[in-house]
Structure 1
Amino acid sequence: MHTFRPVIAIVSCYKMVDGQPSQSVYQKYIDAVNFYGGNPILLPNTAADSANFDALLKVVDGILLTGSYSNVAPTRYGATHLEEKQDLGRDDLSFKLLAHADKTGTPLLAVCRGLQEMNVHFEGTLHPDWREVEGFYEPHLEDSTAPLEVQYQPVHDVLIQPEGRLAEFGKEWHVNSLHKQAINKVGERLSVEAVARDGLVEAISLVQHPFMIGVQWHPELNYAQDNLSKFLFTEFIQHASKKLSK
């Protein structure tokens, strides 16, 4: 008997490729979803403006908000600083996907920028640059001059909260860290799942939702080897499979 794989919508980002405007997703996100049994589809930013947006999402069993070169627009969380790396189309699509997942119970995994979008969507705020905040001392931002394999190496611990959704995995883990923006005020209805030793919020979840989890690190890099990555993607795809079966 043929077994259907849950459809996982992956948000795309605006980029210039060979001098032309493009919508793109890093291959590692697609590979991770496929490896754990999902059927990845890519959503362009223009999907947010489609009159058929709701109809399109009826075929979606899970949503993946990826990390990105760009940052959440300051106007989204009431800030006024200059942010050079913006992708307003990505913001529009991600916030509509978050609203859909909240309303329908669709499983959603948010990575790095995705976590920040998730926090802002639920009325939270961000630090534009954690390096400008007194008290944060862990190496949260990569050395952009280093090779990619070095940039994505685990660099600090995260302490998993004992009553959270990630507690089943364990108490702490060593993760990579490649971000400038960071959570300031945690959004409404969100629970803190993990923090760095310096107090920076590393993971959040939506209370009373089947599976909506955001992580500040990048589990997609070593998705097949890293134990916490295995846990996150396995749980995500399993919840998407349950939605498919209904």
Structure 2
Amino acid sequence: MPTSRPIIAIVSCHKMVDGQPAQAVYQKYIDAIQYYGGNPILLPYTAADSENFDALVALADGIVLTGSYSNVAPMRYGASHVEEKQDLNRDELSFKLLAYSAESGTPLLAVCRGLQEMNVHFNGTLYPDWREVEGFYEQHLEDNTQPLEVQYQPVHDVIIQPEGKLAAFGDEWHVNSLHKQAINKVGEGLFVEALARDGLVEAISLIEHPFMIGVQWHPELNYAQDGFSKFLFTEFIHYASQTKS
């Protein structure tokens, strides 16, 4: 009997578990999708294989590109610096999912690393480390000496642009911020949905798409309490449900 919940495919990342390589997704992403009415499934990097990809993504009514400790590979956006925390298989799968979503109209929510992948996919570029760029002053990077529950709490405002898809929520909000890479040149066909007060790009959308939205912060942490998180996940699952129907 088919499920009434939209199926949401979540990209997996390479992790080491007990000294062995694994494909993993943080539980909070799974819980958030489940809470708002989605049916989460996890996509390993092997999903990018050409003979498997079309069949697997055809199952999905929506796609989530999660945050990660790894960063987008420099070669993806024409940079040449040394990036220690890479996950090339994650890159390959995410970029294929972005291309699929853009062509098919499948709703896609991109978080932190996912936003950066989204921007690069559409020929945008990144700052490898926003701290090396003059003018950014907000607290965009977590204090890793603090407990995780403290690191993930809101630390700065985002100003929501009135012409965008997120304007239905409001004009500003207080968000958390845990990232080193950040958007430099905005990708082609993308709209800047929200900015930090120091000008750093905090949210983007694909203009010619029902729902492809990337956010630099982490809405999945307080998904059941935070007002903006409620809006993002509710809208995402709504559009995914329409795809299913």
TM-score between both structures, scaled by the size of structure 1: 0.98
1:118-165 Cα shifts (integer Å, max 9, x gaps): 000000000000000000000000011110011001000000001100
**Alignment correspondent of 1:80:** 80
Map residues 113-152 of structure 1 onto 2, 5 A cutoff. Answer: 113-152=113-152
**Alignment correspondent of 2:191:** 191
Q: Which amino acid aligns with 1:85?
A: K
Map residues 45-56 of structure 1 onto 2, 5 A cutoff. Answer: 45-56=45-56
Instruction: Give, in angstroms, the shift of residue 52 of structure 1.
Output: 2.1
1:215-243 Cα shifts (integer Å, max 9, x gaps): 00000000000000000000000000000
**Alignment correspondent of 2:178:** 178
Report the Cα distance in structure 2 between the residues aligned to 1:219 and 1:128, rounded to whole angstroms: 23
Partner SS state of residue 70, structure 1: coil
**Alignment correspondent of 2:7:** 7
Report the Cα distance in structure 1 between the residues aligned to 2:70 and 2:232, rounded to whole angstroms: 24
Report the Cα distance in structure 2 between the residues aligned to 1:13 and 1:37, rounded to whole angstroms: 24
Instruction: Give, in angstroms, the shift of residue 55 of structure 1.
Output: 1.4
Q: Which amino acid aligns with 2:239?
A: H
Q: Which amino acid aligns with 2:215?
A: V
Partner SS state of residue 56, structure 2: helix
Q: Which amino acid aligns with 1:226?
A: D
Q: Is residue 2:232 matched to residue 1:222?
A: no
Report the Cα distance in structure 1 between the residues aligned to 2:222 and 2:76, rounded to whole angstroms: 31
TM-score between both structures, scaled by the size of structure 2: 0.99
Report the Cα distance in structure 2 between the residues aligned to 1:142 and 1:241, rounded to whole angstroms: 34
Report the Cα distance in structure 2 between the residues aligned to 1:137 and 1:192, rounded to whole angstroms: 19
Q: Which amino acid aligns with 1:137?
A: Y
Aligned-pair Cα RMSD in Å = 1.0
Report the Cα distance in structure 2 between the residues aligned to 1:13 and 1:63, rounded to whole angstroms: 15
Instruction: Give, in angstroms, the shift of residue 59 of structure 1.
Output: 1.1
Instruction: Give, in angstroms, the shift of residue 50 of structure 1.
Output: 4.5
Partner SS state of residue 174, structure 1: strand
Partner SS state of residue 79, structure 2: coil
Report the Cα distance in structure 2 between the residues aligned to 1:135 and 1:2, rounded to whole angstroms: 52
**Alignment correspondent of 2:161:** 161
Identify unmatched segments of 5+ residues in structure 2.
none
Instruction: Give, in angstroms, the shift of residue 2 of structure 1.
Output: 7.9
4+ residue runs of structure 1 moved beyond 4 angstroms?
none
Number of equivalences: 245
Partner SS state of residue 191, structure 1: strand
Report the Cα distance in structure 2 between the residues aligned to 1:138 and 1:194, rounded to whole angstroms: 14
Q: Which amino acid aligns with 2:127?
A: H
Instruction: Give, in angstroms, the shift of residue 58 of structure 1.
Output: 1.0
Q: Which amino acid aligns with 1:150?
A: V
Partner SS state of residue 194, structure 2: strand
Report the Cα distance in structure 2 between the residues aligned to 1:2 and 1:105, rounded to whole angstroms: 22
Q: Which amino acid aligns with 1:222?
A: N
Q: Which amino acid aligns with 1:77?
A: Y
Report the Cα distance in structure 2 between the residues aligned to 1:108 and 1:101, rounded to whole angstroms: 7
